[in-house]
Amino acid sequence: MNTPKTMQAWCVHDYGKADKFVLEEMPVPAAGEGSLLLKVTAIGVNPVDWKIREGGHRRMYELKFPATLGRDCTGVVIESRVPGFKPGDRVLAVSDQGRGYQGAHASYAAVPADFATKIPAGVSDEEALAFGVAGTSAWIPIVEMGKVGPGMRVLVQAGAGGVGGIAVQLARHLGAEVFATCGPKNIDYVKSLGAHRVIDYSKEDFVQVATPCDVIFDTIGGDTHKRAFAALKPGGLQVRVNAIPVDPKPPRDDVRSELANVRCTAERMASQLELAAKGILKAQITQRFPYAQLPAAYLASETGHARGKIIVTVP
């Protein structure tokens, strides 16, 4: 394939709301050492993307404008600067602005190869996107930090979200008793993911219903996070990925509170894709937008009530 010199990329020239987006002609990025150049086929939109756009991650790194946003994408390898990948490979990848990469919301993206993995046969590009940022944000707390297994009770906060939906499926697969919170419209949906008990947060108090938990996975933060400590059994763990600041010290000294450091490594994404190829994890792609409507995909995520995963298809 002849790679063009320029491409259409969604850019912002300043921090702000979704009206900052412009579709612009930009140079196709070069694949540096340790990178892959991809022809992007589909893009995932995650809450982190609009939080970065609004300037919420400036403590960690400043965007260089014009900036292309976007973390997870799928694509076909055009150029590989590492062993193990070759042109034509179909991959799931996560860009890393913290390491100076531009985002993936473009027709072509240079991505770090250590955050890229081949998509197995039987999993579509669109499905694979569920196991990038969202899936890995569930994998680390449930599998690695929570070490969830049979005989454990797990509470997943926001079981209908892109992260929570994978967490519910993983915890169920690992043999735990799974409780999950969601709003009234999502009760049947979260049950269908495998939760044994769904808690409608508009009617029920999860502390009353779910106590005593071994692991609580918090994707909400704030007051929900504070109250959840009461639902842990002695020795229990609350793991958080929430962006809303919380007091890191638990109000009890017989439980633990930890923050997940979400690094979307190739190994973590490959482990999930293997389960997806076996039909154990099911991607929940609930909203698809054409590339020309990428800002609308962000607005859908910004409601805070997206179900499953929002994706954008790239021609």
Residues in contact with ligand NAP by the rule CB under 6 A: 46-48, 51, 133-134, 137, 157-158, 160-164, 181-183, 186, 201, 219-220, 224, 241-243, 262, 301, 304-307
> Which residues have a Cβ under 8 Å from the Cβ of 204 and sit 6 or more positions away?
none
Query: Any idea which residue has 């690992």 for tokens?
Result: 174
Q: Sheet containing 22-27: which strands, arranged edge to edge?
A: 22-27, 6-12, 67-68
**Residue whose CB is less far from ligand NAP, 12 or 228:** 228
Tell me the H-state helices in 153-259. Answer: 162-173, 187-192, 206-210, 222-228
Between 10 and 217, whose beta carbon lies closer to ligand NAP? 217
Q: CB of 6: closest distance to ligand NAP in angstroms? A: 32
Query: How many CB atoms sit inside 10 A of residue 62's CB?
Result: 12
Q: Tell me phi and psi for residue 313, to 5 degrees.
A: -90, 145
Provide the terminal-to-terminal Cα distance of the chain, rounded to the nearest Å: 15
State the minimum distance, in angstroms, from the CB of residue 315 to ligand NAP.
25
The dihedrals phi and psi of 118, each to the nearest 5 degrees, come to: -70, 145
Closest separation in Å from C-beta 124 to ligand NAP: 20
User: Toward ligand NAP, which CB reaches closer, 90 or 307?
Assistant: 307
Q: How far is the CB of 37 from ligand NAP (least distance, A)?
A: 26
Q: How far is the CB of 182 from ligand NAP (least distance, A)?
A: 4
HSE-CB at 170 with a 13 A cutoff on CA atoms is: 32
**Which of 42/182 has CB closer to ligand NAP?**
182
By beta carbon distance, the residue nearest ligand NAP is 161
Q: Which is nearer to ligand NAP, 9 or 128 (CB)?
A: 128
Specify the residue, 116 or 239, whose C-beta has the smaller distance to ligand NAP: 239
Rg (CA), the chain: 19
In the complex with ligand NAP, the residue whose CB is nearer, 68 or 242, is: 242
Provide, rounded to whole angstroms, the least separation between the CB of residue 262 and ligand NAP.
3
Given the complex with ligand NAP, which of 26 and 220 has the nearer CB atom? 220
Would you give the distance in Å from CA 216 to the centre of its chain? 18
Beta carbon of residue 193, minimum distance to ligand NAP (angstroms, whole number): 11
Per-residue burial over 98-133, b = 16 or more CB atoms within 10 Å of its CB, e = otherwise? eeebbbbbbbbbbbbbbbbbbbeeebebbbbbbbbb
Show the tokens assigned to 253.
Answer: 């000294």
Q: Between residues 234 and 304, which has the closer beta carbon with respect to ligand NAP?
A: 304
Q: Which helix (H) or strand (E) segment is 6 a member of?
A: strand 6-12
CB of 225 to ligand NAP, least distance (A): 11
Q: How far is the CB of 88 from ligand NAP (least distance, A)?
A: 31
Phi and psi dihedrals of 114, rounded to 5?
Answer: -75, -10
Place of tokens 């912002």: 12
Handedness of CA 194, 210, 260, 190 (dihedral sign): positive
